[in-house]
């Protein structure tokens, strides 16, 4: 982010945080040890900057957490589990968990010593959360969960997974969403790594829940407010996905600009030619515009405007993903053949950038949301 933009929309504390995290990212760099970076970021208080101070967090919000992820990404060392562990799971537990759940989980999530994955996607549900078939039934004082999940990130790294299941409403018989903390070693909780052509430390998994028995306190929040609690985690997920995409796009453009300044084929560096310079400038503009929307979304969320944050977070995720894909494409193209080599490390971002378009919600579903919720057009699904 440019200094001028930071001065307009960031506090001195946020700008100082941005500078400190950027320095941490530069120190670790692209060839970083993920575990060492995660541990240091946790020790410095960056991983839990959004969590309550009384549980070891920084007492700030999504604005600050998104700064951390964006700057690490811009340095070439993003931490994908930040999207899941402190942003989704930490937020849900902080807002809706019992005192015992907060005390058990939040200190570890804040300092990075514990992590939590998030399981919502299912093989036959896709973007339609109403088709989730993972069910939870009461059995005495326990809950018993049965179902499947797919494309769940970092389950092997996590101490537990926050699973979205559905329980039966005793009054109507209809299924309603609820969230459960499932320990990684719970009996009947299985995982299988999904082979991916994605160069990422965090692997993707298919989960099976075969009569997984959980105590009553595994339920997070109020059984009758599951939908509210679920969306309280999804808005941060979209904001942080935008931060992930922005960091990646900034890193790619930075590498391309550095190359264009030095690479000389004729009498001047290739960056002096408008055919090279203009597309890079356009990509930079698009990233800056997406960053503004992400800041708006984070601000609305942090001030308690969940409805406004829902619209802005979806728009931010859409804008950042599109800007990231174009930035990475232009960066690779700027380097030509070198853009596909391991030496420059840009080609791997082609697949990674596509993830931001697909997950956690596709751009088409965001357009559905905006056309229906923002513009008032008839619902198409």
pLDDT band at 333 (very low <50, low <70, confident <90, very high): very high
Q: Is the dihedral of CA 368, 372, 377, 380 positive or negative?
A: positive
In this predicted model, which residue has the larger pLDDT, 199 or 56? 56
Where is average pLDDT lowest: 15-19, 128-132, 339-343?
Answer: 128-132
What domains are defined for the chain? 3-114 (1.10.540.10), 117-221 (2.40.110.10), 227-374 (1.20.140.10)
pLDDT band at 201 (very low <50, low <70, confident <90, very high): confident
- What average pLDDT score do residues 101-112 get? 97
- Strand ranges in the chain using DSSP code E only, listed in sequence order: 116-119, 135-139, 142-153, 160-168, 175-183, 189-193, 204-214, 219-220
Res 93 pLDDT > 80: yes
* Gap between the Cα atoms of 305 and 341, Å rounded: 45
Res 6 pLDDT > 90: no
Query: pTM of the entire structure?
Result: 0.94
Res 309 pLDDT > 80: yes
Residue 12, token pair as written in the block: 């001195």
Q: Residues 6 or more apart from 196 whose CB is under 8 A from it?
A: 203, 204
The pLDDT value recorded for residue 5 is: 46
* Gap between the Cα atoms of 197 and 352, Å rounded: 9
Res 180 pLDDT > 80: yes
pLDDT in tens, 136-172: 999 999 999 999 999 999 999 999 999 999 887 656 6
The pLDDT value recorded for residue 152 is: 96
The pLDDT value recorded for residue 117 is: 97
The pLDDT value recorded for residue 337 is: 97
Where is average pLDDT lowest: 16-20, 105-109, 264-268, 329-333?
Answer: 264-268
* Gap between the Cα atoms of 331 and 170, Å rounded: 56
Res 357 pLDDT > 80: yes
The rounded Cα 139 to chain-centroid distance in angstroms is 34
pLDDT in tens, 209-255: 999 999 999 999 877 766 777 777 899 999 999 999 999 999 999 99
The pLDDT value recorded for residue 3 is: 46
Termini Cα distance of the chain: 37
Res 326 pLDDT > 80: yes
Please name which of 294, 367, 298 lies closest in space to residue 324, comparing C-alpha atoms.
294
pLDDT in tens, 28-86: 988 889 999 999 999 999 999 999 999 999 999 999 999 999 999 999 999 999 999 99
* Gap between the Cα atoms of 83 and 207, Å rounded: 19
**Average pLDDT of every residue of the chain:** 93
Find residue 183's DSSP bridge partners. 160
Please name which of 122, 150, 145, 143 lies closest in space to residue 135, comparing C-alpha atoms.
145
Give whole-number Cα distances, 340 to 269, 331, 344, 345, 347, in Å: 20, 10, 8, 8, 5
């Amino acid at each position: 982010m440019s200094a001028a933009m930071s001065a307009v929309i960031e506090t001195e504390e946020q700008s100082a945080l941005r500078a400190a995290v950027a320095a941490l990212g530069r120190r670790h760099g692209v060839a970083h040890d993920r575990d060492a970076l995660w541990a240091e970021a946790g020790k410095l208080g960056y991983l839990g900057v959004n969590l309550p101070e009384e549980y070891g967090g920084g007492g700030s919000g999504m604005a600050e957490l998104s700064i951390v992820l964006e700057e690490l990404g811009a340095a070439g060392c993003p931490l994908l589990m930040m999207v899941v562990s402190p942003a989704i799971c930490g937020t849900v537990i902080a807002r809706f968990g019992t005192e015992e759940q907060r005390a058990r989980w939040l200190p570890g999530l804040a300092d990075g010593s514990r992590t939590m994955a998030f399981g919502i996607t299912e093989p036959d549900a896709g973007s339609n959360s109403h088709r989730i078939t993972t069910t939870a039934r009461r059995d005495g004082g326990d809950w018993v969960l049965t179902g499947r999940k797919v494309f769940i990130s970092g389950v092997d790294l996590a101490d537990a997974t926050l699973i979205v299941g559905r329980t039966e409403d005793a009054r109507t018989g209809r299924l309603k969403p609820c969230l459960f903390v499932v320990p990684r070693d719970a009996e009947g909780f299985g995982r299988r790594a999904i082979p991916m052509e994605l160069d990422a430390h965090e692997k993707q998994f298919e989960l099976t829940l075969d009569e997984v028995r959980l105590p009553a306190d595994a339920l997070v929040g109020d059984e009758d407010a599951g939908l509210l609690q679920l969306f309280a985690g999804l808005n941060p997920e979209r904001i942080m996905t935008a931060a992930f995409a922005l960091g990646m796009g900034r890193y790619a453009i930075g590498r391309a600009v550095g190359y264009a300044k030095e690479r000389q084929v004729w009498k001047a560096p290739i960056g002096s030619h408008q055919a090279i310079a203009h597309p890079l400038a356009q990509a930079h503009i698009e990233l800056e515009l997406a960053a503004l929307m992400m800041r708006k979304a984070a601000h609305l969320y942090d001030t308690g405007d969940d409805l406004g944050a829902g619209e802005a977070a979806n728009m931010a995720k859409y804008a950042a993903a599109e800007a990231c894909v174009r930035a990475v494409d232009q960066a690779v193209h700027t380097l030509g053949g070198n853009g596909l080599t391991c030496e420059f490390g840009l080609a791997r971002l082609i697949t990674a950038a596509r993830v931001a378009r697909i997950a956690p919600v596709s751009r088409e579903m965001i357009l559905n949301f905006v056309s229906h919720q923002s513009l008032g057009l008839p619902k198409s699904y």
